A and B are shown apart, each in its own frame.
Chain A
Amino acid sequence: DQQVKQNSPSLSVQEGRISILNCDYTNSMFDYFLWYKKYPAEGPTFLISISSIKDKNEDGRFTVFLNKSAKHLSLHIVPSQPGDSAVYFCAASRNTGNQFYFGTGTSLTVIP
């Protein structure tokens, strides 16, 4: 039972444009959400997170939006750069818990 879903396996964006990666979840008990970035042959690297008490968190070019009523979050990257090309995983947890539930990932390609 996939509790965190990323329905777009891949996304291509022109350099300088906005990249929008989407994630949906089913468990209303989740209250902490993260995005991880993964390059080939490396482990996932933490990118940005958001607590359920917020609906937006921004860090430089990266912004995560959370819509609790829709159980949906998205990651915006603007402007996109070729170095952003990687697989992006959405993850969710209960802050007092220990398991992170990951989506299946979205492969982002930023075209120079």
Chain B
Amino acid sequence: GAGVSQTPSNKVTEKGKYVELRCDPISGHTALYWYRQSLGQGPEFLIYFQGTGAADDSGLPNDRFFAVRPEGSVSTLKIQRTERGDSAVYLCASSHPPGSGVYNEQFFGPGTRLTVL
């Protein structure tokens, strides 16, 4: 079956602009995660959805970052007033719900490389 897909694969924007990054999870996975990976670092947790609700948004760095998942499937990460420091690869992952009795391996998409000029 299809894996996690993310669009666009690359996004170049100017400082101060607004961007949206999209994630399509694996069908049947109710848990969805966003991570940010900066150069030379491992993925850093941003937010976790269980179904439609953001169960944990403690990783969002500030209020310029927001994510939605209105129908419990596709999710959009939104970044307002982008800054050069936002440049990174944004990864989306999906899984079965944590603690659901199966190993909750997270399956990652290829990421969106965001460059803020």
Contact = CB atoms under 8 A, between A and B. Distances in A.
Please indicate whether A and B come from the same complex rather than being unrelated chains: yes
Interface of A: 4, 6, 32, 34, 36, 41-46, 49, 89, 91, 93, 95-105
Given A41-B110, A42-B110, A98-B56, A103 B105 contact: no
Interface in B16-67: 31, 33, 35, 40-45, 48, 50, 55-56, 58-59
Nearest to A6: B42
Nearest to B40: A104
Contacts of A99: 45, 48, 56, 58-59
**Chief secondary structure at chain B's binding surface:** loop
A4 B44 CA distance: 11
A5 to B, nearest CB: 10
A103 B45 CA distance: 12
Given A49-B103, A95-B99, 16 more contacts: A6-B42, A41-B110, A42-B110, A43-B91, A43-B108, A43-B109, A44-B108, A98-B31, A98-B33, A98-B98, A100-B33, A100-B43, A102-B35, A103-B42, A104-B40, A105-B42
Interface residues of B, number: 29
B26 to A, nearest CB: 12
Nearest to B49: A98
Contacts of B58: 99
Contacts of B45: 99-101
Contacts of A93: 98, 104
B41 A46 contact: no
